[in-house]
């Protein structure tokens, strides 16, 4: 049955398997008629009982025949109108709450006041003809009106509460029994989650209790469910009560608080769930009951990026924008972000056919108003790159194409030079020749004091475009950041696959640390940095605190419902060629200059002499054709003196071990 003020779920909300099934179509067709009929029966019953109470529960012909029908007629008409005005014929009664009951009180009081005023002004003191026509009503006891006020409220509130009680208490248990459930957070969100679980038409969870660190809530009951203890007590509580799932009902919790819950339960085989964010709940996009699995992004994610959207829109709107590497993790997200600012034309440049096909199809579906062109192009093909720039004349270039896997590039060093150095040079030269306004290169923390071919190739690419900026009309800038969570071939997807296969999870070294950032955050900060660039800057993004890879592995195993070291084995391997234990990416220090954005700084350096740089790059490119690792290392050290790689040269026949967690790429 409907209630007064329930809002329908918005069309863009994610479908929730815990929601109630829709009522039969036939019932919905006559829904409003049934609601009005239920109210009319309630009005008639309330008035009838009121007359009985006013007459000492005695049936008398005077009120039963002369007073009740006439008073019911005009009071019923008034009540139907007033209750309609207070929207009492809408919504679902199964969701009735305090606000709905208050609306019933208001409608009952207002309708009773109108009835009494009408009775007093017209029946008692109206024209003689009216008084004679309704002589019986003039003798109605005033107690009838007061009793009817309370009776109306009690009956209508009772109908709603009975409907809700039915859905919350009379349910069928799914085959296989109930999941034993603990809710972490005994606040408003936890209480709301408990109520919504109780409203499920098919009960799925048996809520054992609440967990909360607030000492004032200990040993209290919420809807009959006890607060069992604090987070520190979770392992024992889960063991004593055979808990299968934990719901973290703290949408405003920090990532450190979420990690603490996971780490405390590291040895337990438990599934972790969480509720939507406060923003999503407040916007109406999600309900509290739309719980989902806790993801590693929840534990490693960072605070929302504050962007100057007006400046970015001015930068990108109505421009022709080219994104190289558009099928990759960063490139594809850059395309999604740019489409929000309505570019004139978005060019997707990618050598891999399938990723290009999928990102083009996604963008055309999600942004039908944006003009999009997909161009299959290998950036090492200078003629193809030149032809693309000649045809489309892009005003902004986002250069995200690169080879990024550190161990793989150590074993294919010539290809790293071709793609990361030659490819960047081709795209940058074409942008300068055709006078693009802005060129933004995506770089990496591995270019800082590089120890790998990949990192040093990106450093050389940085040096080239920084030098090119000195004589070009195009503004060339570089943006550096570390690993991004969930990118293709990166550590998180590898760990997840290893866990799904039953292990082992391979970690390079127990002390290895990496900086992590979410793909959307990285892409947004790249756009923000691009608007700041005057040309020649190397922007460095604030990556926060580095994370131990071994801790990341343990948390992913725990989130998957397994015990690290018991259900899923962890194996440590030796660092591979080119890998560091610690990456260097700080926005603090004498060589860093702050910008107006707190998460973006500029690295100050002294550019190399142009003739020396370009001659060195030409020589390096020639060496790369022969894939001579020793000579490539020698030449890189001349161009990048801080490069310390090449100490462990390749062993013939050695294959890259790309299934250990470390530098699988950004």
Q: What residues are labeled active site?
A: 446
| Total residues found in the chain within this entry | 666
Residue 481 contacts residue 541 (beta carbons within 8 Å): yes
At 272 the three-state DSSP class reads strand
CA 54 to chain centre: 60
Instruction: Give the integer Cα–Cα distance in Å for 490 and 592.
Output: 28
Largest CA distance in the chain: 118
Residue 262 contacts residue 270 (beta carbons within 8 Å): no
- Which of 559, 578, 572 has the alpha carbon at shortest distance from 644? 578
The count of other CB atoms within 10 Å of the CB of residue 158 is 12
Radius of gyration of the chain from Cα atoms?
35
* Alpha-helical runs (H) found in 180-243: 188-198, 234-241
Nearby residues of 170 by Cβ (< 8 Å), 6 or more positions away:
none
Residue 2 contacts residue 38 (beta carbons within 8 Å): no
- Which of 150, 140, 161, 160 has the alpha carbon at shortest distance from 39? 160
Instruction: Give the integer Cα–Cα distance in Å for 389 and 395.
Output: 10
> 97 in the Ramachandran plot: left (φ > 0), alpha (ψ -120 to 50) or beta?
beta
DSSP string, 617-642: HHHHHHHHHTT-HHHHHHHHHHH-TT
At 596 the three-state DSSP class reads coil
The count of other CB atoms within 10 Å of the CB of residue 210 is 25
């Amino acid at each position: 049955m409907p209630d007064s003020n329930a809002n329908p779920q918005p069309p863009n909300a994610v479908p929730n398997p815990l929601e109630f099934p829709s009522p039969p179509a036939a019932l919905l067709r006559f829904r409003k008629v049934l609601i009005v009929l239920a109210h009319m029966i309630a009005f008639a019953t309330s008035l009838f009982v009121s007359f009985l109470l006013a007459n000492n529960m005695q049936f008398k012909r005077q009120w039963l025949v002369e007073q009740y029908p006439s008073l019911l007629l005009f009071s019923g008409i008034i009540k139907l109108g007033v209750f309609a005005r207070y929207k009492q014929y809408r919504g679902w009664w199964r969701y009735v709450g305090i606000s709905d009951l208050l609306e019933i009180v208001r409608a009952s009081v207002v309708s009773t006041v109108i009835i009494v005023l009408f009775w007093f002004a017209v029946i008692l003191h109206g024209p003689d003809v009216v008084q004679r026509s309704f002589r019986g009503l003039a003798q109605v006891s005033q107690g009838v009106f007061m009793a009817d006020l309370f009776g109306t409220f009690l009956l209508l509130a009772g109908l709603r509460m009975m409907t809700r009680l039915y859905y919350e208490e009379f349910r069928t248990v799914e085959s296989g029994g109930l999941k034993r459930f603990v809710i972490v957070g005994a606040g408003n969100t936890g209480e709301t989650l408990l109520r919504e679980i109780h409203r499920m038409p098919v009960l799925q969870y048996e809520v054992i209790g609440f967990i909360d660190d607030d000492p004032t809530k200990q040993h209290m009951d919420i809807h009959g469910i006890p607060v069992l203890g604090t987070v520190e007590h979770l392992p024992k509580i889960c063991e004593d009560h055979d808990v299968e799932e934990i719901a973290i009902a703290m949408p405003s919790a920090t990532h450190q608080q979420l990690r603490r819950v996971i780490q405390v339960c590291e040895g337990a085989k438990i599934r972790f769930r969480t509720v939507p964010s406060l923003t999503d709940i407040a916007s109406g996009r999600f309900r509290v009951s739309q719980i989902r699995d806790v993801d590693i992004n929840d534990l490693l994610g960072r605070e929302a990026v504050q962007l100057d959207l007006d400046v970015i829109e001015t930068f990108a709107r109505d421009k022709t924008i080219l994104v190289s590497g558009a099928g990759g993790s960063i490139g594809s997200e850059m395309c999604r972000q740019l489409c929000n600012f309505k570019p004139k034309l978005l060019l997707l440049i990618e050598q891999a056919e399938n990723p290009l096909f999928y990102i083009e199809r996604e963008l055309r579906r999600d942004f039908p108003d944006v003009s999009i062109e997909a161009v299959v192009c290998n950036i090492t093909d200078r003629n193809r790159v030149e032809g693309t720039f000649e045809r489309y004349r892009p005003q902004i270039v986002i250069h995200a194409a690169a080879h990024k896997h550190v161990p793989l590039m150590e074993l294919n060093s010539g290809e790293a030079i071709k793609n990361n150095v030659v490819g960047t040079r081709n795209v940058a030269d074409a942008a300068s020749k055709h006078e693009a306004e802005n060129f933004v290169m995506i770089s990496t923390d591995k270019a800082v004091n590089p120890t790998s071919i990949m990192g040093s190739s990106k450093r050389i690419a940085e040096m080239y475009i920084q030098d090119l900026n000195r004589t070009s009309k195009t503004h060339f800038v570089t943006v550096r950041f570390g690993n991004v969570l969930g990118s293709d071939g990166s550590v998180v997807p590898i760990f997840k696959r290893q866990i799904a296969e039953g292990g082992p999870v391979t970690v390079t070294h127990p002390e290895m640390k990496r900086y992590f950032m979410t793909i959307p955050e990285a892409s947004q900060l790249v756009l923000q940095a691009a608007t700041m660039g005057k040309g020649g800057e190397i922007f460095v993004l604030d990556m926060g605190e580095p994370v131990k890879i071994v801790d990341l592995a343990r948390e992913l195993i725990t989130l998957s419902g397994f015990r690290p070291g018991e259900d899923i084995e962890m194996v440590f391997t030796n660092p591979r060629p080119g890998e560091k234990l610690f990456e260097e990416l700080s926005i603090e220090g004498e060589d860093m200059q702050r910008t107006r954005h707190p998460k973006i700084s500029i690295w100050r350096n002294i550019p190399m002499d142009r003739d020396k740089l370009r001659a060195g790059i030409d020589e390096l490119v020639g060496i790369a054709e022969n894939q001579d690792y020793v000579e490539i290392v020698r030449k890189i050290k001349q161009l990048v003196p801080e490069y310390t790689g090449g100490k462990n040269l390749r062993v013939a026949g050695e294959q890259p071990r790309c299934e250990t967690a470390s530098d699988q790429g950004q």
